[in-house]
Amino acid sequence: MNDRILGDDASRGGARGGTLVTKRFFALDGKGYEAGALSAKQKELLGLVASMVLRCDDCIAYHIDQCVAVGATDDELWETFDIALIVGGSIVIPHLRRGVEFLDMARAKAAM
Amino acid sequence: MNDRILGDDASRGGARGGTLVTKRFFALDGKGYEAGALSAKQKELLGLVASMVLRCDDCIAYHIDQCVAVGATDDELWETFDIALIVGGSIVIPHLRRGVEFLDMARAKAAM
Amino acid sequence: MNDRILGDDASRGGARGGTLVTKRFFALDGKGYEAGALSAKQKELLGLVASMVLRCDDCIAYHIDQCVAVGATDDELWETFDIALIVGGSIVIPHLRRGVEFLDMARAKAAM
Amino acid sequence: MNDRILGDDASRGGARGGTLVTKRFFALDGKGYEAGALSAKQKELLGLVASMVLRCDDCIAYHIDQCVAVGATDDELWETFDIALIVGGSIVIPHLRRGVEFLDMARAKAAM
Amino acid sequence: MNDRILGDDASRGGARGGTLVTKRFFALDGKGYEAGALSAKQKELLGLVASMVLRCDDCIAYHIDQCVAVGATDDELWETFDIALIVGGSIVIPHLRRGVEFLDMARAKAAM
Amino acid sequence: MNDRILGDDASRGGARGGTLVTKRFFALDGKGYEAGALSAKQKELLGLVASMVLRCDDCIAYHIDQCVAVGATDDELWETFDIALIVGGSIVIPHLRRGVEFLDMARAKAAM
């Protein structure tokens, strides 16, 4: 799907894909999470809590994978879940449940 | 206002205030930001980014004050603003502007 | 302002106002809160909790006035605030504070 | 999944689960819906309308089950749907459709 | 499902369906998109961008079908996606991906 | 404030301002509204409806000014308000009221 959006028209059989604006947005989205004054792990935890209070499951799954990849511990992730739960309320609970499933899958994959 | 909500009826002239549920929620809200696996600073930055994407100015002002109190640098705050801006979009811009005003006030107060 | 939106063009110096769609929406908004299987008080409490979790201060002020007008007690209002707080999270707190102010004003006005 | 979040580490093979903050939040969530000045039914209808305007299908399904369990009638539920629809707009419609499916399932289960 | 909501009780085996308020809301929802000062295409693009920033997949699918039906081009749709992406942020990305899938399906169906 | 965010450190007395990510986001935000397959007017109406359903008054004021600048008529604006009202519900009403005030101010300024 990323190629469908970001690739050139030839690669998708001539169908129109993302504009220059779309492509720049995707590039900026990647750049925002690069380590700076905050580490990559801190930024991924920020992305995770933002995704949880906005209740976007795909975004939660993505950021949990990234958090695991850059070394976040379970304790750090649960404390991040708690901030999301307190700020966002019980409406976050179904997304927290799915977050735990995503985390278990990410840990299982990393253990293989 | 906190006394109006959390105090006892006598302290507010007999008017009804927060219930036991209200009081427990406020207590839990405080407890969630105590240092644990994540430092108080990391948790305040998480609270800040969540407040920015949910676009709550009072919450942004509160967390910026807390961030300054626990030693967050301007660079760390601007990188947190950036995550909020990318995740939440241009609709966050007016709140980012006010966040900068809150930060300038917090720095000025801390310099006095 | 309601006349600016719902009145006829002559009443606002020729400026365009709400369309037929706008006017029908406003009429439907009024009709939805009329007593039916649920009492007017129950419906106003529903409107209040919805306004609180969506964090709209003008809507909260309006529904608190209506709740007071149809006889809601302070205990009923605080329990409604609690549901909003639990479902919507700490992001609701600034709106709960303003809700208490609106309530105090509504009670003071009713006592005059 | 509740045991995965709220149980002790032994019960989930040593994996970390919810913190003390998580557990207290879940307990408070339950406590908020206990009968008080408002009946359990009135509180469940408040939880339902809040879930609908925030557009959380899992929460809608849960509260409809609870509403049926505490004796809410179809007329009361449809009037609650209407408040959600008016306050939250057409964006609520897909969730209203699923709400009707949840209700039909809850009634069918109760009739068995 | 529309008949379940908008039909008469006999057509759904006696079960209660939408109230007069529900039915009027659905009628108004249809009326709002009729051509006026803005063309039907412009209104559908407005409905699409609103659905994208509010992140409602069913609504996005519906409006993309309507946009294709009234002659919106791929370039017009991608520029609408871009406004949603900029205003709503990266949280819109999963919905943009699904929007592209809906669009490909709508074009395939129209080509049959 | 734009200079506070986008200017160089010297122009704001050495205080830190927006990062490269912040600046690129602001640039992209401007680029998204340039005329393409859709006219500047159509894009501004899209930005307006998105701002209304997300309920951001500063954004609504900005886009109404832009809409007036690129020649949107009152009828086009009221039909855009209607889409926002139907999609977003009665919670949009306070923002619609302020939108009308912004429009009256923009027309008065343009008439001077």
Band (B9; pLDDT cuts 50, 70, 90):
confident
- Alpha carbon distance A34, E71 (integer Å): 42
C-alpha E62: how far from chain center:
3
8 A C-beta contact, residue F45 and residue F67: yes
- Name the H helices within E32-111: 40-53, 57-69, 74-88, 93-111
pTM recorded for the entire structure:
0.97
- Given this model, what pLDDT does residue E27 score? 97
Quick: pLDDT tens for C45-101: 999 999 999 999 999 999 999 999 999 999 999 999 999 999 999 999 999 999 999
Q: How many CB pairs under 8 A join C and E?
A: 18
Quick: pLDDT tens for D9-40: 777 777 889 999 999 999 999 999 999 999 99
Q: Is the pLDDT of residue B67 over 80?
A: yes
Identify all chain C residues contacting E36, using CB atoms and an 8 Å cutoff. 19
Residue of B nearest to F55 (CA): B91
Closest CA to D32 of D52, D21, D46, D53: D46
Quick: pLDDT tens for D47-74: 999 999 999 999 999 999 999 999 999 9
- Alpha carbon distance D96, C45 (integer Å): 20
Burial of F89 (0-12, 13-18, 19+ CB in 10 A): buried
Q: Do B28 and D24 touch (CB under 8 A)?
A: yes
Q: Is the pLDDT of residue B112 over 90?
A: no
The tokens for C63 are 């529904």
Q: For residue B70, which phi and psi values (nearest 5 degrees)?
A: -100, 10
- Touching E (3+ Cβ pairs <8 A), the chains are A, B, C, D, F
Residue of F nearest to E28 (CA): F86
| Residue E94 contacts B where some CB pair is shorter than 8 Å | no
C-alpha D49: how far from chain center:
10
Residue of A nearest to C54 (CA): A88
D27 CB-near residues (< 8 Å, 6+ apart): none
- Alpha carbon distance D20, A1 (integer Å): 40
Q: For residue B72, which phi and psi values (nearest 5 degrees)?
A: -65, 140
Q: Do A25 and E82 touch (CB under 8 A)?
A: yes
- Given this model, what pLDDT does residue A70 score? 96
Scanning the structure block, which residue is given the tokens 């379970």?
A: A74
- Given this model, what pLDDT does residue F15 score? 84
Identify all chain C residues contacting B15, using CB atoms and an 8 Å cutoff. 74, 104, 107
- Given this model, what pLDDT does residue E1 score? 77
In which residue ranges of chain E is pLDDT below 50?
none
Any idea what DSSP says for residue E92?
G
- Alpha carbon distance E46, F47 (integer Å): 9
pLDDT (tens, 9 = 90+) of chain F, 112 residues, equals 788 999 887 777 778 899 999 999 999 999 999 999 999 999 999 999 999 999 999 999 999 999 999 999 999 999 999 999 999 999 999 999 999 999 999 999 988 8
- Alpha carbon distance F110, D14 (integer Å): 69
- Given this model, what pLDDT does residue B10 score? 78
Has the ipTM of the complex gone over 0.90?
Answer: yes
Closest CA to B49 of B30, B39, B63, B33: B63
- Given this model, what pLDDT does residue E112 score? 86
Task: Find the mean pLDDT for residues C26-54.
Answer: 98
- Alpha carbon distance A91, B24 (integer Å): 18
Q: Is the pLDDT of residue B11 over 80?
A: no
Half-sphere exposure (Cβ direction) of F1: Cα atoms closer than 13 Å: 13
Give just the sign of the alpha carbon dihedral C12, E36, F49, C26: positive
8 A C-beta contact, residue D101 and residue D81: no
- Alpha carbon distance F23, E83 (integer Å): 18
The shortest C-alpha distance from D28 to chain B (Å) reads: 7
Closest CA to C50 of C78, C83, C73: C83
| Residue E41 contacts F where some CB pair is shorter than 8 Å | no
Q: Is the pLDDT of residue C13 over 80?
A: no
pLDDT (tens, 9 = 90+) of chain A, 112 residues, equals 788 999 887 777 778 899 999 999 999 999 999 999 999 999 999 999 999 999 999 999 999 999 999 999 999 999 999 999 999 999 999 999 999 999 999 999 988 8
8 A C-beta contact, residue E37 and residue F75: yes
pLDDT more than 70, % of chain B: 100
| Residue A52 contacts C where some CB pair is shorter than 8 Å | no
